[in-house]
Structure 1
Amino acid sequence: MKTMNVNNQARVLNRRLTAVSIMLAASITANAAMAVSVATMNKVVLVPSLSDSVEISAHGGVDRDYLERLARDATYLFLNRTPESARYFERNLERITEPETYQEIKAALILDRQERQNTRTSQTFYPNDFFVDPSKLYVEVVGELETSNGTRIVETKRATYGLTFNKRGSMLRLASFVPVEKDQAQGTRAPVSNKDEQL
C-alpha cells in the first residue's frame, strides 16, 4: 500500500515538475523574444504637423521630414520673439538644446531679451525654404526676418540660419543655431534633384 502511495506521489511530483519546466522554458523563450524585439524596435513618433508618421531608432538614421520639422520648431523658438514672450522661449530652450551649449545660447538670448525690452521691438521670422542633410544632422532654413516696433515694421531682411543636431540614442538635441552668410550656405551649393528640375 505504501509503495503504491509513494509511486502515485512520485508520478504527481513528476507531472508537476514537467509542467513547471515547460512553463519556465516558455517564459525564457518569451522573454528572449521580447528582448530581441525591444533591442531592434523603432520608435514611431507621431507629430500633429506631419502628414505621415516617422521612425527613429537608436542605431539608425533620422527621418528627413522629422529633422526638417524639428528645425522648423527650433527656428520658431529662436526667431519669433517679443519682450513679453522671451522668458517662455528661454525656459523651453533647455528641452531641445545640448547641455554643453545650453548656457552659451541662453546667455545670447538673455542679451537679446534685454535689447528688445530697451528698444521695445519684436522679431518675426517667415521661413520659406529648407535644406536638410540627414547624414550630417544639419538643416539650413532660409526666410524673411522682420523687426517691428508696435505696428511699424522697422526692418525686413532675407536671412539664412544653420542648425546642427546631435543624436543620443533615439533623441535629437540642438547643438548649434547660427546665422549663415549667403555664399557659405550649403543649400545653395547642393545639386538640384530631378524632382526640383520638374517643378
Structure 2
Amino acid sequence: MDISLAHEASQRTLKQRNLLALICIVLGILVVVMFTAASTRDREVILQPILPSEMALSSSGVTPEYLEAVTRDTAQLALNRSPETMQYWLDGIVKIAAPEARGALKADLMKIVGEQEGSQVTQFVTIDWIRTDPDALTSQVGGVLHTIVGSRDVRREHKIFQFNWKYTGVSLRLKGFGVVVKKEEDGE
C-alpha cells in the first residue's frame, strides 16, 4: 500500500512539474514576442510649442520639416560665435553630436577655440536658404557669413555649409558640418 501511495504522490509531483515547465515555456515565448513587438513598433512624438506648426517624429524616418527646423537651429548655434560665448558654443555643439562623432568634432572645435582665445573676432550668419535631404540625412545652409573684429565688420562672404546627421529611434544627432568647397574646373 505504501508503494502505491508513493507512486501516486510521485505522479502528482511529476504532473505539477510538467505543468510548471509548460507554463514557463509559454511565458518565455510571450516575453520574446512582447520584446519583439516593442522594438519593431514605430514610436511617435508630437512637437508643438516652439515650432510654427505641429510636427510629428517617427522612428521610421525623419521628416523634411523636422530636419529643416533642426538644421536651422544647429546652424544658428554652430555659425554664430563670439569670444564671450566660446564655451557655450563648444558645449552646445558637442551635446547634439552623435556619440561616435563627439571626439573628432570636439577636437576640431577645440582648435577653433584655441585660435580665437584672446581675440575679438565674432562671426555670425544670415541664412538665405536651407535645403534638406531626409533620405541621405544631410542638409545645406546658404548664407552670408559676417566676420567682425572689435566693432568693424571686416568680411562678408556668401558660403554654403553642409550638416551630416544620424537618425536613431526618434533622435537626430549631428555627425559633422563644414563649408562646402566648390571644385574648380580644369583650365581655370
Q: TM-score, normalised by structure 1?
A: 0.68
Indicate the residue corresponding to 1:27 in structure 2: none
CA distance in 1, matches of 2:96, 2:56: 18
CA distance in 2, matches of 1:130, 1:47: 22
The list of structure 1 runs, each at least 4 consecutive aligned residues, that deviate by more than 6 angstroms after superposition, is none
Indicate the residue corresponding to 2:54 in structure 1: 53
Return the offset for 1:176.
Answer: 1.4
Return the offset for 1:71.
Answer: 0.8
**Aligned pairs (5 A) from 1:56-135:** 56-58=57-59, 60-135=60-135
Change (3 A) 1:40 1:106: closer
RMSD over aligned Cα atoms: 2.1
Return the offset for 1:41.
Answer: 4.3
Return the offset for 1:101.
Answer: 1.3
CA distance in 1, matches of 2:49, 2:76: 16
Instruction: Flag structure 2 segments of 5+ consecutive residues without an equivalent.
Output: 1-33
Indicate the residue corresponding to 1:29 in structure 2: none
Q: Secondary structure at the match of 1:110?
A: helix
Change (3 A) 1:52 1:107: same
Greater alpha carbon shift after TM alignment, 144-153 vs 175-184: 175-184
Return the offset for 1:39.
Answer: 3.1
Change (3 A) 1:174 1:41: closer
Q: Secondary structure at the match of 2:62?
A: coil
Indicate the residue corresponding to 1:44 in structure 2: 46
Q: Secondary structure at the match of 2:108?
A: helix
Number of aligned residues: 148
Instruction: Flag structure 1 segments of 5+ consecutive residues without an equivalent.
Output: 1-31, 185-199
Q: Secondary structure at the match of 2:84?
A: coil
- Residue 63 of structure 1 aligns to which amino acid in structure 2? T
The 8 Å contact of residues 56 and 63 in structure 1, kept in 2 or not, is answered as yes
Q: Secondary structure at the match of 2:172?
A: strand
Q: Secondary structure at the match of 2:144?
A: strand
Indicate the residue corresponding to 2:159 in structure 1: 159
Q: Secondary structure at the match of 1:94?
A: helix
